[in-house]
Amino acid sequence: MFKIVSRRDLAPNITEMRVEAPLVAASALPGQFVIVRVDEESERIPLTICDYDPEAGTVTIVTQSVGYSSQKINSLAEGDCFLDFTGPLGRPSDLIDIDPEKLRDMKILFVAGGVGTAPVYPQAKWLHEHGVTPEVIIGARSKDLFTYVDEMEKVAEVHLATDDGSAGYHGLVTGLIRKLIDEEGRHYDHCVIIGPMIMMKFAAMTTKEYEIPTMVSLNALMVDGTGMCGACRVTVDGQTRFTCVEGPEFDGHKVDFDEAMRRQNMYRENPKTKRNLNHKCTCHG
């Protein structure tokens, strides 16, 4: 059993939990995910690792309540336990493979939408610990839906964007990317985008215009976390890839986003499968 050692609400329907999982915490790297199961009657849910503390033996996850399974997770209280908490799974961020000297000379931009901010945090934190201060764009519909802003500001230069103009730049993250480059003269060598699929599509189209190498996280497609079910299939550069085992991050300029969005939505109206597929968590933006 994996005990919830702390729990807090980050925003309406968005909950952070710090879970006792020493073996996972000891091996985790930025960009990886875990599979959780509340009890024997629950489905397996893939959740991106939002933070990890090897010394304390804890792993942090963030879940947004949307469907049955995410609501069941968020109904747990501090002191309750998960039956299963398996990981770390997936390939870590490609940033950790770059030579440290080269990394410190790079200008790195993260673009986070919705609850995508939480899985961006461990990558930004890892860079900060290795002498790199990245820039992070955080986008949300309104300021009330921001998460992890305080934590992010400790490890990165943060730019906020809201659809309604209640905080930061008034508009979409794509407009803020253009503003930072065109009006403020900023240059970026690498970009990582995590959030809703439609946001990642248009943000990646924007970075392609500026020839900025870009990675996106396709965790939203994952179901069983092993690649066995095939739900995580995605076309990247004309080839079929499996998000669970070959991702979750891929070249954002080569992903077939239209196909990915069709796959993401194909079962939503089926009442028999809606319970299983309509969960939303850090991997879903």
In a shared domain, residues 115 and 85: no
In a shared domain, residues 234 and 168: yes
- Confidence (pTM): 0.88
| pLDDT computed for residue 28 by the predictor | 96
Residue 49 to residues 32, 61, 77, 121, 178, Cα–Cα distance (Å): 6, 6, 19, 10, 30
CA distance 152 to 120: 9
Per the model's pLDDT, the better-predicted residue between 229 and 24 turns out to be 24
Size of the chain, expressed as the number of residues it contains: 285
In a shared domain, residues 231 and 249: yes
What is the band of 266 on the pLDDT scale with cuts at 50, 70, 90? low
Residue 159, pLDDT > 90, answer yes
> In which domain, by residue range, is 59 found?
2-90
| pLDDT computed for residue 274 by the predictor | 44
**Which of 105, 104, 172 lies closest to 138 in space, CA to CA?**
172
| pLDDT computed for residue 26 by the predictor | 97
Tell me phi and psi for residue 260, to 5 degrees.
-60, -40
**CATH number of 26's domain:** 2.40.30.10
Q: Considering its fold, how many domains does the chain have in total?
A: 2
In a shared domain, residues 144 and 30: no
Residue 197, pLDDT > 60, answer yes
Joined tokens for residue 67: 């469907």
In a domain, 43, yes or no: yes
| pLDDT computed for residue 226 by the predictor | 67
Calculate mean pLDDT across residues 206-232. Answer: 84
In a shared domain, residues 170 and 206: yes
Calculate mean pLDDT across residues 150-174. Answer: 96
Mean confidence (pLDDT) of the chain: 89
For the chain, what is the largest distance between any 2 Cα atoms, rounded to a whole number of angstroms? 54
What is the band of 272 on the pLDDT scale with cuts at 50, 70, 90? very low
In a shared domain, residues 166 and 146: yes
